[in-house]
């Protein structure tokens, strides 16, 4: 998923890449359980040289992800349609560039990369896979739900309560009280 920029001269060049879902094995992000890439991922836009050695990727990333619902565990789809405008500088230059910018402006160290939209390239190629994976993580919902009203699984019998109605009692009974109730019955 490398984008060769060695022959990139003045002006913008079109980028139109299709990436098969198999390229992305099951991915795990810090925030979530696993998600899988279901459809073809497209990166479409332009790439151009900016001042000096900076290269700008201006593109739209589209894809379809699937992840389990946090309540009922059924997989559901998450569409990705994100615009990225990322400035790439040669590996090693990133620290230098951000240091200069931080000095001239008042940007906090830990958020500087995000604010500046900066990334690195090495060997005259941009890693599109990295760009795409970043967008996948941003697209994942904070609270993964198949639907807002998902009723989850029955904690007693495990039935999917979106699909079936079980007769289980949902309330929790104090085991000591339950023992007392049993005594009374006898």
Residues that bind Zn ion (CB under 5 A): 69, 71-72, 146, 150, 154, 156-157, 159, 166, 168
C-alpha distances in Å from residue 138, one per residue of 9, 31, 61: 32, 10, 12
Which CB, 91 or 156, lies closer to Zn ion? 156
For the chain, how far is it from start to end, CA to CA, in angstroms? 72
- Separation CA 49–CA 5 (nearest Å): 9
Q: Which is nearer to Zn ion, 117 or 158 (CB)?
A: 158
Rounded least distance, CB 166 to Zn ion, Å = 3
Q: With beta carbons less than 8 A apart as the criterion, state whether 144 and 70 touch.
A: yes
> C-beta of 150: minimal distance to Zn ion in Å?
3
Report whether 93 contacts 50 (CB < 8 A).
no
Q: Which residue is listed with tokens 């619902």?
A: 69
59 sits in which H/E element = strand 55-68
- 10 Å Cβ neighbour count for 10? 7
Which residue number, 2 or 154, has a Cβ lying nearer to Zn ion? Answer: 154
Residues in the chain: 186
d(CA 89, CA 64): 29
Residue 139 or 159 having the CB closest to Zn ion: 159
CB of 24 to Zn ion, least distance (A): 24
Tokens of 130: 């990295």
* Cβ distance to Zn ion smaller for residue 173 or 183: 173
């Amino acid at each position: 998923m490398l984008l060769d920029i060695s022959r990139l001269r003045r002006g913008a060049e079109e980028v139109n890449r299709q990436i098969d879902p198999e390229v992305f094995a099951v991915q795990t992000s810090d925030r979530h359980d696993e998600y899988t890439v279901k459809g073809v991922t497209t990166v479409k836009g332009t790439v151009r040289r900016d001042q000096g050695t900076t290269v700008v990727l201006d593109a739209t990333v589209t894809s379809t992800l699937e992840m389990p619902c946090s309540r009922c565990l059924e997989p559901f789809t998450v569409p990705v349609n994100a615009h990225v405008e990322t400035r790439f500088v040669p590996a090693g230059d990133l620290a230098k560039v951000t240091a200069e910018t931080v000095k001239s402006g008042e940007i906090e160290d830990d958020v500087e990369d995000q604010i500046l939209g900066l990334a690195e390239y090495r060997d005259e190629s941009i890693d599109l896979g990295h760009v795409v994976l970043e967008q996948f993580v941003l697209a994942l919902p904070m609270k993964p739900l198949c639907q807002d009203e998902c009723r989850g699984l029955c904690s007693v019998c495990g039935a999917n309560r979106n699909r079936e109605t079980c007769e289980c009692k949902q309330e929790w009974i104090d085991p000591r009280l339950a023992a007392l109730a049993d005594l009374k019955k006898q």
